[in-house]
Structure 1
Amino acid sequence: MKRDKKERRARKGGRFFQSLQSRYLLIILSAFLFVPIVFPVATILYYLLGVFVQQQDMQELKYGNTSQIEQMFHQQAAELSGASNQHISDTMHKLRERYPDASFFWVDGEGETKLELGGQIELPAIWSNEDSIQFMKEYTGSDTFTVLAFIGDKPLGQGFMAMQLPRSLVQSNTRLIFEAPFYILFLILVFLFFVALSLLFFRHIRRRLLRLQAAMTRQGEEGLPLPVEQEKQDEIGQLEIAFNEMILQLRAGRQREREEEELRKELIANLSHDLRTPMTVMGGQLYTLHKEPLSQSGRETVKQLENKIDTVSSLIENLLSYTLMTSGRYPLELALQDVLRLVRESAASWYPLWEREGLAVDIELPEQPLVWSVDKEGFRRILDNLFQNVVRHAAEGGYIGVAMIQHGEQSALVISDRGPGTQSASKEKGAGIGLAIVHYLVREMGLAWHIDSSAAGTRILIYPEAAADYFLNKI
């Protein structure tokens, strides 16, 4: 039990450190600690490095640094307090032996140059105030390191002595580490490091999001996005897992949909087949009733039953045909046909029914053939469904018209009535199963159609799909 708890805590800890939020907070925290921690630490390191470099330089210097030489020279001058001129000269010679690269001279209290050792310049025999000022002005900050010290403890009592060395012997040339620009450069580099780290962090996130976006737009064989490979266990990784699970659910839903569609089609086909037998039996019984002596009311009832049986039979046939069409099992063989001849033949077979329903028939078709690439039986099915739709829904208008309109080389077949109109009809779905079949057949034959319906009646146009834009603009 305790082991499981430890493992769960370890997994939670691992997810925390793998989280994008934790990484970003770490960057922000480091940036906040940059000023109060990095600055002092950098200053201390900078100082220690400077001390180390200074110590190294001091070990490399031949006579020590400037501070040491100044301290030594002033101490020697202080020890000569009250000394004789000979003793001072002897001390100067000893210093010359100790520092052979240096030059020395001393001037007594009267301003007279008493001794000059290794001098490269011409000194005045008697020093005036102007000479002293000119000497100090010339060698202050120059390449020659110069030290002046009063002899004894009384200024100008015993005069002064001087020591000169090339500055390169007492001062290191390695000074870059002590320059402020390099310290500022270090801080700038640290700042740029945090900026680059942030840019890389967000660039990595953007690259993964773009990869996920591309996966969402890429489709597989079933028209569904393809799964993505999970890279890390962070927030984007969890999004990738959810995306893959969504694809699995879509695939399962698509599979269930196909199975339900196949079941529905099979059910409709079986139901249509099973309903034909009782409808045939009912038709035979009604035929027998016609031979029996019936009253006028009885004959009218039998007639209504026959009409209803015909309607139901037609609906069953349309339902079966639509099921075959949607399952891709309805055969169509396209060939060049004179569609006007097919219209005349279909209208002739419907004429007795139109006459019985009291419809005024107006057929105006030219003698010249109109050749379209259609399936012969399929085109007749289109005409039968449209004519049947007029009989069922527009018979009260008492009119049906069949004509052809032509604009240049473009021709269209027009079937019109004067019924109440089918405002809900559209060329996308039609009004009922019959018009749905018309829509399917028209599309599969490379044709197009349009329903123009109003309270004054309905007009249906059928034309080649290539002429769709032309006739739609004319309507």
Structure 2
Amino acid sequence: MLIILFAFLFIPIIFPLASVVYMVIEEQSGNGNDDYLKYGNSAALESMWHREASLLDEGAPEQVDRKLREMKGRYPEGSFFWVDMAGATRLQLPPQEGLPDRWTHTDAIRYMKANIDGDPFTVVAFLGPDDAGSGFMVMQLPRSLLQLSTPIGSGTPYYIGFLFVMFAFFILLSLLFFRHIRRRLLRLQSAMTMRGNDGLPMPIVLTKYDEIGQLEAAFNEMTEQLRGSKERERAEEELRKRLIANLSHDLRTPLTVMNSHVYSLRGEPLSAQGQSSVKQLEQKIGSLGSLIDNLLTYTLMTSGKYPLRLDRLDVLRLVRESAAAWYPLWEQEGIEPDINLPDEPLFWRVDKEGFRRVLDNLYQNIVRHARSGQYIGISVEQGARGRTIVISDRGAGMTGESAGKGAGIGLAIVDYLLSEMKLERRTESTEGGTRILIGSRAEEQHFLNEI
């Protein structure tokens, strides 16, 4: 507030007020400019000299001599002489060298040309009223007695010094203020970038409850709200994970009982419709069991309890083994496999069981949602990031009606496992089918050279 007040008052108030005070002091102290002139200013002297000359009679030399002696008494530093009507040089106070005894018009003009506006200050005045005479008298004074020894008032340096001190004080105060503000803002910025063990910003110690202090207090309040929100989120997440884990465990028992009864029904003499219903029950129970497994696996993954061990393995061998295990189910569902894998191995750093889980979820997704295409293709393509495993189908594609039904958790598990193994899944889906490509996120970091 002091800086703002000073900025508003300096130009419109302080500067004019200081000027007025300076002028009043100078006027009251009597130290005007004329006090620096011993004999007044040059214009006054010239006017006085012409006035005195107009009162003299060139025909009365004693009168002129007396006047010059009087002037010499008044101006002891001056030089005086006069020339009569005949051009003769008369009284000289003091005697001067270089003056002609007899003056001609040329001498007079040359003298005036040499001394006008020179030093000493020279005034030439014709004798008699209205400059009617032909004689003249001359007065000369050193210009140092007519010019200001100090061209400005005696208090001017103090006035300028006062304004300079005020301005310097304003600048210094502003620099100190903004330096202090900057340090506090940098401290606030540093506190905003620092994180505690919980990943949240650390609170700031309040030193002053001004505008920045209020900002720091608001920041501390926001930090506390974030910490409380994160605690509630953590508690809700733990509750959700426990609920899913307990629910998955509780559902396994009735599913096992239902599966055993369905297996028993298969040995009973049933009609064709009954056999079809038993088959549908088996498929739904299997799907529900798989969904529960995926749900439990996803819960373990998100809680960090699903360990992965990355080893340098031939992933094409894992693809062949997984496809062989799924081959009977594909044959039962009428899905024709088209496996086209090269003989040379493809080594990636993967978790063996995790990569098999990725393949199982992708195969299961095709069986559930793309078996209408009656096709599954497994191949390897060469791309910009190296070789890529491609799993394709000829179903309705992910833009169809069944896209994503029941596959959300399965694909989430796939993405999580691939991410932990430094791999990625890219999906190309049309109405004529879907292609899933599994490859490296960065060839130079995540692929190994084949041996």
Question: TM-score, normalized by length of structure 1?
Answer: 0.69
Which of 38, 51, 54 aligns to 2:33? It is 54
* TM-aligned CA distance change 1:433 to 1:152, over 3 Å: same
| Cα distance in structure 1, aligned partners of 2:442 and 2:49 | 112
| Contact in 2 for aligned 1:361/1:400 (Cα 8 Å) | yes
| Contact in 1 for aligned 2:85/2:135 (Cα 8 Å) | yes
- 1:381 to partner: Cα distance: 1.0
| Cα distance in structure 1, aligned partners of 2:61 and 2:341 | 150
Spell out, residue by residue over 1:72-113, the C-alpha distance to the aligned partner (whole angstroms, 9 max, x if none): 767876887799645654554465466554333234455543
| Contact in 1 for aligned 2:365/2:407 (Cα 8 Å) | no
What is residue 439 of structure 2 aligned with on the other side?
Answer: 463
| Contact in 2 for aligned 1:230/1:240 (Cα 8 Å) | yes
Gaps of 5+ in 2: none
- 1:438 to partner: Cα distance: 1.4
| Contact in 2 for aligned 1:215/1:227 (Cα 8 Å) | no
- 1:389 to partner: Cα distance: 1.3
| Cα distance in structure 2, aligned partners of 1:84 and 1:244 | 105
What is residue 416 of structure 2 aligned with on the other side?
Answer: 440
| Cα distance in structure 2, aligned partners of 1:152 and 1:39 | 52
| Cα distance in structure 2, aligned partners of 1:345 and 1:400 | 16
Which of 170, 174, 177 aligns to 2:149? It is 174
Question: TM-score, normalized by length of structure 2?
Answer: 0.72
Q: Map of 1:331-342 to 2, 5 A cutoff?
A: 331-342=307-318
| Cα distance in structure 1, aligned partners of 2:339 and 2:394 | 15
What is residue 415 of structure 1 aligned with on the other side?
Answer: 391
* TM-aligned CA distance change 1:47 to 1:138, over 3 Å: farther
- Give 3-state SS (helix, strand or coil) of 1:52's partner: coil
| Contact in 2 for aligned 1:337/1:374 (Cα 8 Å) | yes
1:265 is aligned with what amino acid? Answer: K
| Contact in 1 for aligned 2:255/2:285 (Cα 8 Å) | yes
Spell out, residue by residue over 1:386-430, the C-alpha distance to the aligned partner (whole angstroms, 9 max, x if none): 2211221122222333344568995443333332222389xxxx9
**Structure 2 residue 83 is the aligned partner of structure 1 residue 104:** no
2:33 is aligned with what amino acid? Answer: Q
- 1:167 to partner: Cα distance: 2.5
Of 402-411 and 312-321, the range deviating more from structure 2? 402-411
Which of 248, 262, 278 aligns to 2:238? It is 262
| Cα distance in structure 1, aligned partners of 2:400 and 2:199 | 32
Please tell me the root mean square deviation across aligned C-alpha atoms, in Å. Answer: 5.1
Spell out, residue by residue over 1:212-262, the C-alpha distance to the aligned partner (whole angstroms, 9 max, x if none): 997699464666677789999898887776666555544544444344333
Of 313-322 and 246-255, the range deviating more from structure 2? 246-255
| Cα distance in structure 1, aligned partners of 2:291 and 2:254 | 14
* TM-aligned CA distance change 1:94 to 1:118, over 3 Å: same
What is residue 356 of structure 2 aligned with on the other side?
Answer: 380
| Cα distance in structure 2, aligned partners of 1:300 and 1:114 | 158
1:103 is aligned with what amino acid? Answer: S
| Contact in 1 for aligned 2:387/2:439 (Cα 8 Å) | yes
* TM-aligned CA distance change 1:449 to 1:66, over 3 Å: closer
| Contact in 1 for aligned 2:399/2:429 (Cα 8 Å) | yes
Of 247-256 and 371-380, the range deviating more from structure 2? 247-256
Spell out, residue by residue over 1:438-461, the C-alpha distance to the aligned partner (whole angstroms, 9 max, x if none): 121122223333333333333333
Q: What is the number of equivalent residue pairs in this alignment?
A: 428
What is residue 452 of structure 1 aligned with on the other side?
Answer: 428
* TM-aligned CA distance change 1:104 to 1:438, over 3 Å: closer
* TM-aligned CA distance change 1:451 to 1:408, over 3 Å: closer
- 1:321 to partner: Cα distance: 0.4
| Cα distance in structure 2, aligned partners of 1:390 and 1:252 | 44
- 1:325 to partner: Cα distance: 1.2
| Contact in 2 for aligned 1:448/1:468 (Cα 8 Å) | no
| Cα distance in structure 2, aligned partners of 1:338 and 1:38 | 92
Q: Map of 1:119-198 to 2, 5 A cutoff?
A: 119-127=95-103, 131-148=107-124, 160-168=136-144, 170-174=145-149, 176-177=151-152
1:57 is aligned with what amino acid? Answer: Y
What is residue 318 of structure 1 aligned with on the other side?
Answer: 294
- 1:69 to partner: Cα distance: 5.8
- Give 3-state SS (helix, strand or coil) of 1:263's partner: helix
| Cα distance in structure 2, aligned partners of 1:406 and 1:79 | 125
| Cα distance in structure 2, aligned partners of 1:369 and 1:266 | 42
Q: Which has the higher helix share?
A: 1
**Structure 2 residue 259 is the aligned partner of structure 1 residue 283:** yes
| Contact in 2 for aligned 1:422/1:431 (Cα 8 Å) | no
| Cα distance in structure 2, aligned partners of 1:153 and 1:453 | 123
| Contact in 1 for aligned 2:370/2:397 (Cα 8 Å) | yes
